[in-house]
Copies of this chain bind each other. A is one copy, B any other.
Amino acid sequence: MADILHRVGILSPSTSEVYAALSTIKGLAGWWTIDTQGDTRAGGELRFRFGEAGGFDMKVLELEPSKRVLWEVTGGPAEWIGTRIAFDLKQEGDYAIVLFKHMGWKEPVEFMHHCSTKWGTFLMSLKSLVETGKGAPHPDDVLIDNWK
């Protein structure tokens, strides 16, 4: 098993605005993909789409306001199915810290390398959304390689 890890710090007086960006359709559509739909409640299913590239379905496993969001991947590329994605939040001074884990990859395949870098750019998009009001969700996302 292998995990993708990231840490970003977002200039914000509390973690509540970051939590909102992770637990509402409007928030998620502001930094990951504008084509976000579904039920944001615990037990609900979220559908994230990226045009012709397809997308991901996530079951919301845990929601702890201002502290934690945990999803399980129920639809998407074979390598993603059954993996889990956690966002743990805490405040350190002026920064709301996001500790990100995409856990449970069976093998460290090349696609995992791509997804790691891509998650990094999307978390910087989350940071930008909360700090400036404007993120870079698909289709305006930062392109990192020939897999986009």
Q: Is the CB of B7 within 8 A of A117?
A: yes
Q: Assuming A95-B146, A146-B94, is B2 touching A116 (CB within 8 A)?
A: no
**Interface residues on chain A, number (Cβ under 8 Å):** 33
A24 to B115, CA, bound (A): 29
Complex: chain B residue closest to A2, CB-CB: B3
Chain A residues proximal to chain B, CB less than 8 Å: 2-9, 92-95, 97, 99-101, 108, 110, 112-114, 116-117, 120-121, 123-124, 127, 142, 144-147
Some 19 contacts from A to B, beta carbons below 8 A apart, are A2-B5, A3-B108, A4-B116, A5-B108, A5-B116, A6-B113, A6-B116, A7-B147, A8-B117, A9-B145, A95-B146, A99-B110, A100-B113, A117-B120, A117-B124, A120-B120, A121-B124, A124-B144, A127-B144
